[in-house]
Amino acid sequence: MSSSGSAPERILEAAGRLFAERGFSETSIQRLADEARVNRALIFYYFHSKEELYRRLVEQMCQAVDQEFAQAALPLADPEARLRAWVTALCVGMSRHPGVLRILLREAVGPGHARLPVGQYLEGAEGPLREILSEGVAAGVFRNLDPTMTAISLMGLVMTFIRRGFAYKQEFSAESVAEHVLTLTLEGLRLPASPAP
């Protein structure tokens, strides 16, 4: 644990680590205070409650992860290259933050404590993906598949690998997951080659 930084920064750092390892219910305010090397009262002074600390932590994590991959594919013109860049950036970005993933997965599938619409956040992450898929269909590069359903399918593949491979077991590299997901997806998206006349 870093002993430098302001008290709120140390509290958030300790909270990220403890909530990821132990979960919300199993993390006490006293344990947070001890880990952050602050008085319990400072947690309430800066965050008002354990729930508010958790909510702010999850919100901060969502923003940080979003910033890492949101712009990855924008400078590329080719829809397939953009899709590759987006999926790779998502996988690599998520693999760097296994603690964030454990917290976000708990929030997405269970009765979350953050009272944040993590589902809406994840749906928002699909926006750039739907755009890439729509552009690929319009350009005649991808099959005419529903962009929303395709984005949900692709995110489902990525989230399954993220849950298994990054958040807990670390059994796959981010690059191998991205390549696997892209191979499966692109084989289904690409238009068949036109027969020679």
Q: How many CA atoms lie within 13 A of 116 on its CB side?
A: 23
CA distance 128 to 189: 17
- Predicted local confidence at residue 169, as pLDDT: 64
| Cβ partners under 8 Å of residue 15, min gap 6 | 27, 32, 36, 53, 54, 57
pLDDT tens, position by position, 169-190 = 667 788 888 899 899 889 988 8
User: Whole-model pTM?
Assistant: 0.74
- Predicted local confidence at residue 113, as pLDDT: 66
| Cβ partners under 8 Å of residue 70, min gap 6 | 125, 128
How many other C-beta atoms can be found within 10 angstroms of the C-beta atom of residue 140? 10
Q: Taking a C-beta distance cutoff of 8 angstroms, is the pair 55, 114 a contact?
A: yes
* Residue 1 predicted with pLDDT over 60: no
Q: Give percent of the chain above pLDDT 70.
A: 80
> What integer is the mean pLDDT of 149-161?
86
* Residue 114 predicted with pLDDT over 70: no
Q: Taking a C-beta distance cutoff of 8 angstroms, is the pair 182, 84 a contact?
A: yes
pLDDT tens, position by position, 37-90 = 999 999 999 999 999 998 888 888 777 767 766 666 567 788 999 899 888 888
